[in-house]
Amino acid sequence: MNIALIAHDKKKDDIVRFALAYKSILNEHSMFATGTTGSRIMKETGLKIHRFQSGPLGGDQEIGALIANNKIDVVFFFRDPLTVQSHEPDVSALVRLCDVYAVPLATNMGTAEIIIKGLERGDLSWRKIASEEKGDMNEQ
């Protein structure tokens, strides 16, 4: 599965702790992240991650493009609800794309833990079917 990892500045420590705690599960999948978040996770966990631009410089939109093309299966986006983000329209667009394409989205540690445990159990295998169906539609 393809997993996106994103975190606002005040939530980067949380996503790093999450990645450390679930490193063995995450290591079984392909990971993508916005710039600084990806750097921090790679440095502190040793996980291999494809990094995009930082969020404010378009990284959210790069991940959004993958979602729109059904190439991301799960998004862990630790948002800071108490700080105004300069790129809030990009954040809203990313959340909307997850809803449009039925991509599981965790915006906090509690939801992230439920999704990662489901991923470990194979509960998200339906995403493979959705991805294959989308691929068939694109080939027509």
* Residue boundaries of the structural domains of the chain: 2-139
- The pTM of this model reads 0.90
Dump strand ranges (E) for 25-114: 30-33, 50-51, 74-78, 105-106
Identify the CATH homologous superfamily for domain 2-139. Answer: Methylglyoxal synthase-like domain (3.40.50.1380)
Residue 71 burial (10 A CB sphere; 0-12, 13-18, 19+): middle
pLDDT single digits (tens) 111-140: 999 999 999 999 998 887 766 766 543 443
Burial of 7 (0-12, 13-18, 19+ CB in 10 A): buried
Q: What pLDDT is recorded for position 13?
A: 97
Candidate from 6-10, 104-108, 119-123, 136-140 with smallest mean pLDDT:
136-140
Q: Is 60 among the residues known to form the active site?
A: yes
Sheet holding 74-78, edge to edge: 50-51, 30-33, 2-7, 74-78, 105-106
- Predicted local confidence at residue 99, as pLDDT: 96
Residue 136's pLDDT is 46
**Inter-residue contact 67 to 98 (CB < 8 Å):** yes
**Mean of the pLDDT values across residues 74-79?**
96
As a whole number of angstroms, the distance between CA 122 and CA 86 comes to 37
Please name every residue paired with 30 in a beta bridge, in sequence order, or none if there are none: 2
Which helix (H) or strand (E) segment holds residue 121: the answer is: helix 109-121
pLDDT at 79: 92
Q: Active site residue: 13, 14, 60, 73, which one?
A: 60
The reported pLDDT for the residue numbered 41 is: 98
| Assigned token pair, 78 | 């630790």
